[in-house]
Chains A and B, each alone.
Chain A
């Protein structure tokens, strides 16, 4: 067999850098692969938040980071659902919860039973049949118990700076080497990076280079053949501001996402404060105006620490060139909506690990990585685009434009087929399963014209029984879950015992 990859150098910053470094070190470090992190100056501010879907728990497990440590260091609060207000004009707010998918091969989705019930006068919204949404409304955390028929998962809202520092320390403990000097030069030889030369004079060679530098694309941007495909037309917010708001006690276990006339504002509860993000279109509102309106939009006191930045929405194609692999925002740039930021990095790293090169001199894995990342990016974009495309805020130029713009074909198919049948077509590399898409689309106002005819084979009583049983199960399950306050307290106690 030809030569193995024995050295990996990762150029980047903040959580994506340390996630990539820790994941590779933990899987391959003990096999003699050296992992060198080259840390660029952080772009994080004290106001920044990472909001993470439940998939983050798998990542923490993979790199061996305990939940209690994360919760303590990053002042984290569990995240069970997203609540969307004002996206539908006068219609009520709606939630998308992190319910676990039904087991594979089981019955057709619950949405069909709900749609059928609606035709016969059933009152509750689809959301009322979501365990996660119910938990979120009652400030409870869905901790899985063996044998639970219905279950849900949770992610976290994390204070970005301390979380990133925790990951860095953890990566160091795992054996990642760290250099923090600025980059002086990148030596490129054909389509391969030969070395990264640091201002300190150090010259770092590696078999494989990973670009976790964010939108800058510090490495991959230097290689010929890297193109950026913009998604501006579908993800219309080009700027964001982040600020700190007053803590909410007890902290809600959902993010509150409210649309306003030129974008949206999100509240992300942490233990000691509430992180606030506003994403907007600079064509429609000025930065000054957004910052001034923050307290009004957020409906909580907001500090004077607002920080503004640009949003780049699009995908780098290809994202693996020669011996350089882009991960996270260096590959896929999104709107901060739906808590997908860390998930993008995690997902890129998972694809890379599954395709980790077998030898140092040839990377036929690159084509497949590029195809998978392009498809994953497209699905993530569609998920965010659905919110904008389905808005019902009429007579506001920004939102009118969002509605008038034709959605991407891949999303249009989802919207159409759901509206016609209650089913959602899924492609490879989907971040959401069908039940979550159904929650999103029905919340955003699409009522399926009909339901799956197969459910009607059962007698009417059985169908009514099934719907009522779900409500009863939720009513029984939620009070048995720990409250957010108890959950956080227990986490602190566990950590103290461990220390």
Chain B
């Protein structure tokens, strides 16, 4: 191969430092040299305090120690997301990081549940998901390695302070050779012929040349959007929220192993428990409320005292039509934005890095590499988009304008078909690429009140009495096993509690 690829990352924050840490640890230094430009004057957005289980895999792949990362970023565990008041007022369900049924149930469990339901057993489907039952009781333990047991049917993610996580990644990346450059970009130089980006001129006058640029500049999308003029595809007609207020509050006495998302008058509120504080926010649409009312509503809804003033974030749902153009890839907010309803922001950064690695132009730039990257990213974005729209659209709420609008809006055909088939027979589409799999769709459909009118005839196998007995046994088994799990708070305390140097251990006080 040729001389090392000069990679320049513009922007720190979660996206920039995840890219830097991923590249430096997974690609040998003989292939590429990595520099990252960021300015201490520019704050990062870092809304993404709730993550998905994939992040564990990312950390493991690059070699970041879990307990240490959790300790430093005040992290707690996450088994899923609780949705309150979404399908209808008073509704409450958990979207689990796990499956429904036993380890051997496979993808047909919900069809058997539907059969039992048709036979008169109106069981909550959540009772058959180990992750959900554990989350409801504020329990946590690592999933079992024994794949045939019920305690292996879930995975977990983290609630963390994203700005500290980024700092951890920075330490990690710099120790492995990533060069950080302080400064803001004044000018972007392009190649006269190809239009490819050649160098960035910093305000100090320093010129940074590169072969390949990764745009992590946030919403402004300085390189891909502003300089290379890649158009924006707007999705706000389906995802109308365009602002969020974020505010920390004191930590709650009991740490929930789940994020809470509550649908309210003009959007939804998040609640994310960290070790030292609770992250809160209100994602809303200015089409349906104003900033002042939103801020008031957020503060009024806190369950612990606020620690700061609410901070405003502005955004729009959508993505750049291409995420890789010429010699520039956008990661994170500069590539697109989907509201944090399903904690997908960090996932989208991660999956883009993972798609980028095998396609890196190490043997020369070729538009076909970009083309393949863009195809993969678009599949990811589009499938997540449909899943998010489902939350808004599948509602019977008519107490405020936003819910009336969403319930009646025209959704993408791809989603229409999915909803129709699920409503008809409980069919759930399965695909090769794309984040959300069967249990996720199932959780939201059922949780928001779409119960199929029929079920697959294949589920009619075996006598109904046996099915009922099996389900009863499974429910009891899950409940009993979850009882034996430690509480989440206790688990965090033992595994990764943030160090408080001023606090003496009991042993030290014994003279």
The verdict on B118 contacting chain A, using a C-beta distance below 8 Å, is yes
The verdict on B1 contacting chain A, using a C-beta distance below 8 Å, is yes
In the complex, chain B residues whose CB is within 8 Å of the CB of A453: 26-28, 31-32, 357-358, 360, 362
Let me know if A1 and B453 touch, CB within 8 A.
yes
Within 8 A of B (CB), among A391-414: 413
Q: Could you mark each residue 338-373 of chain B with 1 if its beta carbon is under 8 Å from any beta carbon of chain A, else 0?
A: 000000000000000000011110110010110110
In the complex, chain B residues whose CB is within 8 Å of the CB of A425: 372, 375-376
In the complex, chain A residues whose CB is within 8 Å of the CB of B362: 450, 453
Q: Which residue of B lies closest to A30 (CB)?
A: B461
Let me know if A449 and B460 touch, CB within 8 A.
no
In the complex, chain A residues whose CB is within 8 Å of the CB of B461: 30-31
The verdict on A5 contacting chain B, using a C-beta distance below 8 Å, is yes
In the complex, chain B residues whose CB is within 8 Å of the CB of A357: 425
**C-alpha spacing A381/B458, complex, angstroms:** 31
The verdict on A468 contacting chain B, using a C-beta distance below 8 Å, is no
Give the distance to chain B from A115, nearest Cβ to Cβ, in Å. Answer: 11
In the complex, chain A residues whose CB is within 8 Å of the CB of B369: 417, 420-421
Given A355-B427, A425-B375, A450-B362: A2 touches B454 (CB 8 Å cut-off): yes
In the complex, chain A residues whose CB is within 8 Å of the CB of B357: 452-454
The verdict on B432 contacting chain A, using a C-beta distance below 8 Å, is yes
The verdict on A108 contacting chain B, using a C-beta distance below 8 Å, is yes
| Chain A binding surface SS class | loop
Within 8 A of B (CB), among A448-471: 449-450, 452-454, 456-457
Let me know if B431 and A428 touch, CB within 8 A.
yes
Q: Which residue of B lies closest to A455 (CB)?
A: B28
The verdict on B30 contacting chain A, using a C-beta distance below 8 Å, is yes
**C-alpha spacing A348/B472, complex, angstroms:** 36
Let me know if A358 and B429 touch, CB within 8 A.
no
Contact of B421 among A1, A368, A423 (CB under 8 A): A368
In the complex, chain A residues whose CB is within 8 Å of the CB of B454: 1-2, 358-359
Within 8 A of B (CB), among A1-43: 1-2, 4-5, 27-28, 30-31, 33
In the complex, chain B residues whose CB is within 8 Å of the CB of A413: 368, 371-372, 375
Q: Could you mark each residue 337-377 of chain A with 1 if its beta carbon is under 8 Å from any beta carbon of chain B, else 0?
A: 00000000000000001011111001011011000000000
Q: Which residue of B lies closest to A454 (CB)?
A: B26
The verdict on B83 contacting chain A, using a C-beta distance below 8 Å, is no
**C-alpha spacing A358/B30, complex, angstroms:** 58
Within 8 A of A (CB), among B399-449: 417, 420-421, 424-425, 427, 429, 431-433
Give the distance to chain A from B69, nearest Cβ to Cβ, in Å. Answer: 20
**C-alpha spacing A421/B371, complex, angstroms:** 13
**C-alpha spacing A422/B1, complex, angstroms:** 14
The verdict on A187 contacting chain B, using a C-beta distance below 8 Å, is no
Give the distance to chain A from B384, nearest Cβ to Cβ, in Å. Answer: 17
**C-alpha spacing A1/B457, complex, angstroms:** 12
Q: Which residue of B lies closest to A452 (CB)?
A: B358
Let me know if A421 and B359 touch, CB within 8 A.
yes
The verdict on B455 contacting chain A, using a C-beta distance below 8 Å, is yes
In the complex, chain B residues whose CB is within 8 Å of the CB of A272: none
In the complex, chain B residues whose CB is within 8 Å of the CB of A426: 432
Given A421-B369, A425-B375, A450-B1: A358 touches B456 (CB 8 Å cut-off): yes
Let me know if B27 and A358 touch, CB within 8 A.
no
**C-alpha spacing A382/B64, complex, angstroms:** 41
Q: Which residue of A lies closest to B359 (CB)?
A: A421
In the complex, chain B residues whose CB is within 8 Å of the CB of A428: 431-433
Give the distance to chain A from B155, nearest Cβ to Cβ, in Å. Answer: 12
**C-alpha spacing A31/B462, complex, angstroms:** 9
**C-alpha spacing A364/B429, complex, angstroms:** 13
**C-alpha spacing A204/B142, complex, angstroms:** 58
**C-alpha spacing A427/B376, complex, angstroms:** 10
Give the distance to chain A from B366, nearest Cβ to Cβ, in Å. Answer: 6
The verdict on B207 contacting chain A, using a C-beta distance below 8 Å, is no
Contact of B425 among A108, A365, A449 (CB under 8 A): A365
Given A356-B457, A359-B454: A423 touches B28 (CB 8 Å cut-off): no
The verdict on B25 contacting chain A, using a C-beta distance below 8 Å, is yes
The verdict on A205 contacting chain B, using a C-beta distance below 8 Å, is no
Contact of A28 among B427, B429, B432, B458 (CB under 8 A): B458
Q: Which residue of B lies closest to A412 (CB)?
A: B368
Q: Which residue of A lies closest to B32 (CB)?
A: A453
**C-alpha spacing A70/B438, complex, angstroms:** 36
Let me know if B417 and A31 touch, CB within 8 A.
no
Let me know if B359 and A454 touch, CB within 8 A.
no
Q: Which residue of A lies closest to B31 (CB)?
A: A453
In the complex, chain A residues whose CB is within 8 Å of the CB of B32: 453
Within 8 A of A (CB), among B315-344: none
**C-alpha spacing A413/B360, complex, angstroms:** 16
**C-alpha spacing A365/B427, complex, angstroms:** 9
Q: Which residue of A lies closest to B369 (CB)?
A: A420
**C-alpha spacing A456/B456, complex, angstroms:** 49
Q: Which residue of A lies closest to B423 (CB)?
A: A364
Contact of B26 among A358, A421, A457 (CB under 8 A): A457
Given A365-B421, A416-B368, A453-B27: A31 touches B363 (CB 8 Å cut-off): no
Interface on B for A, CB 8 Å cutoff?
A: 1, 25-28, 30-32, 118, 357-360, 362-363, 366, 368-369, 371-372, 375-376, 417, 420-421, 424-425, 427, 429, 431-433, 453-458, 460-461
7 A–B pairs (Cβ distance < 8 Å), ordered by A: A2-B454, A4-B457, A413-B371, A420-B369, A421-B358, A423-B359, A450-B363
Interface on A for B, CB 8 Å cutoff?
A: 1-2, 4-5, 27-28, 30-31, 33, 108, 353, 355-359, 362, 364-365, 367-368, 413, 416-417, 420-423, 425-428, 430, 449-450, 452-454, 456-457
Inter-chain pairs besides A358-B424, A426-B432, A457-B25, 7 sampled, C-beta below 8 Å: A358-B456, A368-B417, A416-B368, A422-B358, A450-B362, A450-B363, A453-B31
